Amino acid sequence: MAVLYLAIIIFVLQVVATLIIEFELTDAYLLIYAAAVAVLLYFKKDLIFPFKYKCVRCSVNLTFNEMVFDDSNLCEKCREKEKALEESEDSEE
């Protein structure tokens, strides 16, 4: 859901910028939108940014793709170790 919220914020930014250009308004409206987004991010930061920045096992910094698109909150090495462990458990059964 957090990625959807971020996409909505970016989409609305695009719409606001297009309307400002279309109606030849001042750029202050874009600053008003930016301030509104900043307030929203401040009060809803747990909802919009629930991402972990470090691996939950080894505390290595996660890449952007691992942080946003991978729900395991593990770095590549820890994810490979977990996968190997699961495969070994499956082969024992």
Residue 42's pLDDT band, with cuts at 50, 70 and 90, is very high
28 is written with which tokens?
């202050």
Which residues on adjacent β-strands are paired with residue 54? 61
Query: What does the alpha-carbon distance between residue 24 and residue 77 come to, in Å, rounded to a whole number?
Result: 52
Query: What does the alpha-carbon distance between residue 70 and residue 73 come to, in Å, rounded to a whole number?
Result: 6
Residue 48's pLDDT band, with cuts at 50, 70 and 90, is confident
Q: CA neighbours within 13 Å on the CB side: how many for 22?
A: 6
The residues spanned by each domain of the chain are: 2-48, 52-93
Query: What is the arithmetic mean of pLDDT over 48-74?
Result: 90
Query: What is the arithmetic mean of pLDDT over 29-51?
Result: 92
Of 38, 80, 27, nearest in space to 55 by CA: 80
Does the pLDDT at position 93 exceed 90?
Answer: no
Query: What is the arithmetic mean of pLDDT over 66-72?
Result: 87
Does the pLDDT at position 3 exceed 90?
Answer: no
